[in-house]
Amino acid sequence: MEKYQKLGKIGEGTYGTVFRGIIRESRDSIALKLVSLEDEDEGVPSSALREISLLKQLSHPNVVSLHDVVHSAGSLFLVFEYCDLDLRKYFDTLNGEINESVVKCLMQQLLAGLAYCHANNVMHRDLKPQNLLLNTHGHPNPQLKLADFGLARAFGIPVRCYSAEVVTLWYRPPDVLLGAKLYNTSIDMWSAGCIFGEIANAGKPLFPGAHVDDQLKRIFKVLGTPSDSSWPGITTLPDYKPFPYYSSVANFRQITPTLCSNGRDLIQKLLVCNPNNRLSAEAALRHAYFN
C-alpha cells in the first residue's frame, strides 16, 4: 500500500467501503475499495474474488478499470480508476431536467458496456444508478462506466441454475421476481430499460416498488399482466401466482414524456415481461434511436 495514499471515504460498495486515494508517485486520483478480512476462517469473500477475476478479464472504455489488488494486514484493497460520481448523485445535480442528447449519450455507453460484457460471457446482475460511475470533468458529455461486479457471473454451456437473489428490487425483471433460476443476459437488459426511463425522467424511477408483489403489480399496470399465451411457461415459475388482470395500456408518451418516438420504441423493446423477447444490448445499439 506504500504506493498509494488513502484519502476520504466516498461510498459503500456491495461488500466494502470505497475511499478516494492517489498514486503517490504520479499524484493521479484512484478509488480504493477496502474489503475487510477480519474473519480469517472465511477468507476472501466470494463476491470480492468474483469481481477481481471478472474485471481482470474485461477491458473496455465503459467498464471500470481495476488497476491493482493489494493484500495487507486483515484487509484487501482493490485499486480502481477514479470517477467523479455515480449516476444517482448525477441525478441530484439535474434539478429535474436533462438534455435528450445527454440521455442518448449515457444510454449508448451503458449498452456498449453491456454488449462487451455479454460478448465476453459476463452478466452484471446488479445494474442500478449507484453502480454506474461517471466522469464529468473535461468531457462535453459524461463518460459512463459499469462498476461493482460483486454480483456478476460468468455464464456458459451447460446452462446452470443461478440465484434469484440478485438485482436491486426496482431494477429486477419479472422472471426473476417470479423466482426464475434459469436466466441469461436478458436480466441486464430489463435493468437497462428501467435505467433508460430513469435517465430520461432526470432521476425519477419507473417502478419504485416496496416489496416483490408491489413491484410486479407496478410493472403489470404499465405493461399488462402476462399470460401463458404472451409468455409461455410463466405459470410454471416457482413463485408464480395469479395476479389482477391489467390490460396493456402502456403509454410511454406519458411515462417518459421527454423521449422522442424512437426513444419510446427502444424502451418498449427493453421492458418486455417475457425475457425471450427482450432486445439484446447488441441489437439495442443498432436501434434507430442512436442514428
Which grid cell sits at 13? Answer: 460498495
Q: Catalytic: 126?
A: yes
DSSP H or E run through 221: helix 212-223
- Can you name the residues that pair with 29 across neighbouring β-strands? 22
3 state SS of 267: helix
What burial class does residue 14 get, using C-beta atoms within 10 Å of its C-beta: 0-12 exposed, 13-18 middle, 19+ buried?
Answer: middle
33 annotated ligand binder: yes
Q: Which of 86, 126, 175, 188 is catalytic?
A: 126
Cα 129 to Cα 92: distance, rounded to the nearest angstrom: 12
The answer to whether 133 and 145 are in contact (CB under 8 A) is: yes
Which grid cell sits at 122? Answer: 459476463
Comparing CA positions, the residue from 253, 284, 238, 227 lying closest to residue 104 is 284
3 state SS of 290: helix
Cα 216 to Cα 199: distance, rounded to the nearest angstrom: 21
Sign (positive or negative) of CA dihedral 162, 61, 58, 145? negative
Cα 256 to Cα 267: distance, rounded to the nearest angstrom: 9
What are the phi and psi torsion angles at 29 (to 5°)? -75, 145
3 state SS of 240: coil
Would you please indicate which residues are annotated as catalytic (active-site) residues? 126
Q: Which residues fall in the annotated binding site for ATP?
A: 33
